[in-house]
A and B are shown apart, each in its own frame.
Chain A
Amino acid sequence: MEHDQVCPLCGRPIPLGEPNCPRCRRNLFLKPDTIIGLTLAGLLVLFVITGLAVQAYEAKYAALGDQWYQRGTKDLASSHVNAAIVDFRTALVYARDDENYDLSLAQALSAAGRTEEAKAYLTSLWERDPANAQVNLELGRLAARAGNTEDALRYYHSAMYEDWPGRDPAEARRAVRLELFRFLMQQGDRAQAEAELIAMAALLPPEPALYTEVGQLFMEVGDYQRAAFEFEAALKLDRNAGEATLVGAGEAEFYLGNYEAARRHLDRALRERPGVTRRQEVKDMLEQATLALSANPFDPNLPPAERDQRVIEAFRQAMQRLASCFVNDITAAPATSSGTPQPAAATNSLAALANQARALQPQVRADSLRRNPDLATQIMNFVFSVEQASTGVCGAPQPFDRALMLLASRRGSSEQ
């Protein structure tokens, strides 16, 4: 039969035209309009019930998620990493899509050394939101830990360029860049590390402490020029800048061979900050700078007599230094400070210098220097050669030797 109906109670077919089920024998039907109306009313009621149930359920789950998250945070803070992992996982059961929970779990896993698991969570988070700075930072850290410079750079840079809700973005970016700098230094990639520093320096707000910090980092990579610039900038911003700034500025100028500036900063540091850390080191450096200044015959403001005197003093010191290399007999083979024989190259070099000294010695006089203006340069070049050749070969240098070495290196770098 084409349009048989089915009994709502027993499921048997009701032949066409029959009002009632032949088995149940009851008039079972409401009007279809009524059924539809009741169904729609039922739908409305069920909608409301479901809505209320979902609301209560979600509230309960959110509370549970938060409860386990708090527990995990406490465990993580007290270094109970494994317990924290379980807590965060449980929190995620109740709030699956809470990115904070995911991130905390990844951090806990990472702290527990379970890098692959942490990476899986972070990758999933990253796929959901590639612009999440914190996720990028964590991925960068994992890549750094794995020694993967390429990925680390990518993620750290992403972390820098994305938004940092809830934090000062400039400060967060600086912290990220600093972390990346540390990683690059650890990897021995000084060039990239310096590039990061230059970028960081370009975006610094006018805060002396930050300039000082960046200056110190430039010192780490050996870029004394930029370091000195940062320290000077810090001092300009705050004339009463702290010890670190003064010492940093002094050191930077010292390494740049600007001994006058170095002496000024270091002296000020020692005078104004009696409790300066590395006091002895700073003092030594100040002494070096002072000595270098007093030994420098190339100061254009020096009177000629004073210049000649300095040249003669330098030559005398070089001869002493050379003599110390040969102990008793300047023509014998030189010995190291430990008494063992020198390598042939060093021996030859020192022997040649000894010969040069014998040839030069008669000319090292005030009248010769006055007559021949180029002689001072010739003598000083010899002095620098002796100081350089004897380094590490002929025992500990005297302070004056070190001062001459500084002048030698400064001259070398200026010639370069």
Chain B
Amino acid sequence: MSEPTTTPGTGVLTEPNSGVGAHQAAGTGERSWVRRTLELTRLVKMREGQLFLFLAVLIGVFSGLLVVCFQIAINTTRLWLLGSALAPSPARVILIPALVGLVVAFLVMRVFPQVRGSGVNQTKAAVYASNGHIPFNTVVGKFITCALAIGSGQSLGPEDPSLQIGAGFASWLGRRLRISRDKVRLIAPVGAAAGLAAAFNAPIASVLFVIEEVIGRWSAGVLGAIVLAALSSVVVMRNFLGAQPLFRVTSYRLGHPSELVAYAVLGVTGGFAAVVFTRLIAAVRPRLMRLPQRTHYFQPAIAGLAVGLIGLAFPQVMGAGYETIDQAMHGQYVWQLLAVLAGVKIIATVISFSSGAPGGMFAPSLFIGAMLGGAVGGVERHFFPGLTGSVGAYALVGMGTVFAGFLRVPMTSVFMVLELSGNYSIIVPVVISNAIAYVISRRYQKLPIFEMLSRQEGMDLPSLEAQREESILRVESAVHDYAAPLLHGVQSVADALRQLDNSAEQHFLIDQGTQGWSLTTKERLQMLEQQGKGATLLRELPNPQRLPHVHPDQPLEVALRRIGDHPLLPVTNRVQIDRLEGVVTLEGILRVYRASLAGP
């Protein structure tokens, strides 16, 4: 079998002895519809960029289907294992999570070792450390083990696993289609966005999450594909499961601007709840991970037993808890119970997640936020009956608040609430509350949750927050005055030499007007004069050493890249490009970098 090759420079994948010409040779004239259909499949003739976009749609559709099946699997498993009642019988509540925990632990330890955890960091690790390679059995494993764990009542959610399922499928497809290594690296986040979007029914929030947390940077090259995949998956999911949002959201209206204070209080509460949640995971998970390997076979079972015991009193905390969130949003619980449920859910989730049971933390953080929001709303309305916001509105804002504080994805959380509520008038309280929670979380919990988890697993993965934290060094910090005489292209060689007569500098900038900048030396000018070219204008000199220029506001790394072997670079004004602000030298650039390493 002859192997296809990539046409250098174009990225077009071609195949020997194939293509339209070959088909024409083989054909007898009129093409049959079969042949035309086959022609449609010859997508590999596309440029890789086009193919990538096509694959994004394909991945979106596949991810949507997989996530639909995944959700059905979770719900069906729950029905089989725990029955259809809201509060299952005590025997089931205690025994089922524990027994299923044993099965899940065996599968995770023996069959699917890469399905441990939520799936976000694993996807991120694949992107950064494994060329985007996620083994296909991870997809299968995640599907099975999460359906069992969540369906049996472990306090975990299906969103992060959906993300990994989407990423895993995308990675597999990309590898099979032999797209380039760079694209394989990028295709996993495309699948991740598709998986998450289908699970959340919130395409914008999912795109933002993948950019904020998985890719860790804004990349125009992949943004289009991610959006396409997310939209495709949501369309497919809605086609099968309906277009209704994840939760039925009550109406919201802001009676008076002073009510925003109430949401600020919610922001503070949510921020501290997020810190407590994160710190508990930080404290418990490493301890359980350090226990002997054989105990890992029993940890999910013991966690299941613990969650089951909690579930006897509070069956609401078992599983993802969407129904309970829905009920809280409709004012079905008194604020005291809501507060207790928030606390108990934190404990149950810490136990489940730290035990190594596969499953996500999106749903639990939404649950905690909704309960906390409802509780805060209930208390505030009790003491200030004039507040117009319903408990449901507080629960909704609370979801975003804890989400922002816990996962440290402020933009995602805002858009998530907007997409879930479909009500843009709620944006002001959401932004206020989320911002406060985010600031509190950053103040009292240095490491974001995903970074902390990756450190616990011995990885160091980048994040957008870490990038935001990094101070950017700019050209202006390395610029210094240009002390030597500035030459102009309209000057003659002799004239220039006269101007440089008393200068001790080695290199001199020539302002070439619209031609930019160039550099010369006194020796070169003297040599030209000796050659009898004293009357030649500087702009007409042969082989001028053209110089790139930089602007003061540009990152210093731009200057570092451009300076190359040049002794200096002109720094010019942005709005008056021929106005020299100063120059940067390699030595000056390095000095600034060294100073930044030494700290303030």
| Interface residue ranges, A against B (CB under 8 Å) | 1-8, 10-13, 16-17, 19, 27, 29-33, 35-37, 39-40, 42-43, 46-47, 49-51, 53-54, 57, 60-61, 64, 67-68, 86, 89-90, 92-94, 96-97, 116-117, 119-121, 123-124, 127
Contacts and interface: CB of A to CB of B under 8 A. Distances in A.
Contact of B84 (A49, A68, A124): A68
A2 B9 CA distance: 9
Nearest to B135: A11
Nearest to B7: A3
A8 B170 CA distance: 12
Contact of A90 (B13, B86, B173): B86
Nearest to A128: B248
Query: Which one of A4, A32, A40, A60 has the greatest number of beta carbons of chain B within 10 Å?
Result: A32
Contact of B15 (A1, A6, A33, A120): A33
B180 A2 contact: yes
B86 A3 contact: no
- Give the one of B69, B174, B392 with max A CB within 10 A: B69
13 contacts: A3-B181, A29-B4, A32-B44, A33-B42, A39-B58, A49-B69, A50-B65, A64-B84, A89-B86, A90-B84, A119-B331, A120-B390, A123-B250
Contacts of B11: 3
Given A3-B11, A117-B330, A36 B44 contact: yes
Contacts of B240: 50-51, 54
A13 B183 CA distance: 12
Contacts of A120: 250, 330-332, 390-392
A36 B250 contact: no
Contacts of A116: 331
Contacts of B427: none
B327 interface: yes
Interface residues of B, number: 63
Contacts of B3: 19, 29
A367 B76 CA distance: 106
B133 A6 contact: yes
A32 B86 contact: no
Nearest to B59: A39
Contacts of B72: 53-54, 57
Contact of B41 (A37, A43, A49, A89): A37
Given A11-B135, A50-B240, 12 more contacts: A4-B180, A5-B179, A6-B131, A7-B175, A29-B3, A31-B1, A36-B44, A54-B68, A54-B72, A68-B84, A116-B331, A123-B250
Interface in B120-178: 130-133, 135, 172-178
A127 B18 contact: no
Given A29-B3, A35-B176, A40 B327 contact: no
Given A11-B130, A35-B176, A43-B61, A93 B86 contact: yes
B62 interface: yes
Given A13-B131, A117-B332, A5 B176 contact: no
A267 to B, nearest CB: 60
Contacts of A10: 133
Interface string B65-89: 1101100100110010000111100
Contacts of B545: none
B43 interface: yes
Contacts of A94: 84
Given A64-B84, A90-B86, A97 B244 contact: yes
B326 interface: yes
Contacts of A124: 248, 250-251, 330, 392
Nearest to A4: B181
Given A5-B180, A40-B41, A123 B175 contact: no
A5 B172 CA distance: 13
A57 B71 CA distance: 10
Contacts of A50: 65, 68-69, 240
A152 B72 CA distance: 43
Nearest to B381: A116
A14 to B, nearest CB: 8
A53 B250 CA distance: 31
A123 B41 contact: no
Interface in B553-593: none
Nearest to A8: B175
Contacts of B75: 57, 61
A72 to B, nearest CB: 12
Contacts of B84: 64, 67-68, 90, 94
B131 A32 contact: no
Nearest to A106: B330
Task: Tell which of A1, A3, A13, A93 has the most Cβ of chain B within 10 Å.
Answer: A3
B6 interface: yes
Contacts of A90: 84-86
Contacts of A36: 41, 43-44, 177
B261 interface: no
A93 B85 CA distance: 9
Contact of B241 (A17, A31, A37, A54): A54
B58 A43 contact: yes
Nearest to A55: B240
Contact of B69 (A8, A39, A53): A53
Interface string B8-30: 10010101001000000000000
Contacts of B327: 89
B390 A96 contact: no
A291 to B, nearest CB: 60
A5 B8 CA distance: 14
A33 B41 contact: yes
A344 B190 CA distance: 98
A6 B132 contact: yes
Contact of B175 (A6, A27, A39): A6
Contacts of B250: 120, 123-124, 127
B180 A3 contact: yes
Given A33-B44, A40-B41, A46 B62 contact: yes
Nearest to B178: A5
Contacts of B44: 32-33, 36
B133 A11 contact: yes
Contacts of B131: 6, 11-13
A3 B7 CA distance: 10
A390 to B, nearest CB: 54
B62 A3 contact: no
Nearest to A46: B65
A146 to B, nearest CB: 13
B303 interface: no
A60 B77 CA distance: 13
Nearest to B174: A6
A35 B177 contact: yes
Nearest to B327: A89
A26 B132 CA distance: 20
A127 B422 CA distance: 12
B244 A96 contact: yes
B41 A47 contact: no
B364 to A, nearest CB: 19
A336 to B, nearest CB: 51
